[in-house]
Amino acid sequence: MANNKLFMQLIFLTALVATLGSLYFSEIRQYVPCEFCWYQRILMYPLVIISIIGFIRDDHRAKYYIRVMSGLGILLASYHYALQKISFLGDNFAACTGVSCTVQYINIFGFITIPLLSLIAFILIFILSFMIKRK
């Protein structure tokens, strides 16, 4: 179906922008990723490959892998964002090694941080994966 290809393209584009954004923050802006940021990258980066393969092969079954990875990404990014924005969570959290998981390299309008951007991308990908229908 033509719509399936469009949704897979949108998933690919979203995952690609998120991947390039994370690389921009770490490689160009020199922001050192925290532990939770790395876990989110581990879930986001393969989505670029999975979605482009699903698009090229016109394989609607890729949506299942995409759903699982983006669903886990939603959970992880939500928790990471909560650590940053809910003070009693972040104050008592000491599990991150290296850079603190509560550090906010960007804070636009007082609420837009890197974990929120990740969360938005994972939610968009998750929703798009449910729009892909069987043939």
Residue closest to 65 by CA, chosen among 82, 76, 50, 55: 50
Q: What is the pLDDT along the chain (135 residues), one digit of tens a residue?
A: 568 889 999 999 999 999 999 999 989 988 888 888 889 999 999 999 999 999 999 888 899 999 999 999 999 999 988 888 877 765 666 566 667 766 777 777 878 888 899 999 999 999 999 998 876
Looking at residue 29, the DSSP 8-state letter turns out to be: S
Contact 89, 83 (CB under 8 A): yes
Q: What is the pTM of this model?
A: 0.89
DSSP labels for 64-111?
A: HHHHHHHHHHHHHHHHHHHHHH-HHHHHT-----SS-TT--S--BTTT
Q: Please tell me the distance from the alpha carbon of residue 65 to that of residue 53, in angstroms, as a whole number.
A: 12
AA letter at 11? I
Residue 75 CB partners (closer than 8 Å, separation 6+): none
Give the CATH architecture of domain 2-131. Up-down Bundle (1.20)
Residue 53 CB partners (closer than 8 Å, separation 6+): 59, 62
The residue ranges of every structural domain in the chain are 2-131
AA letter at 7? F
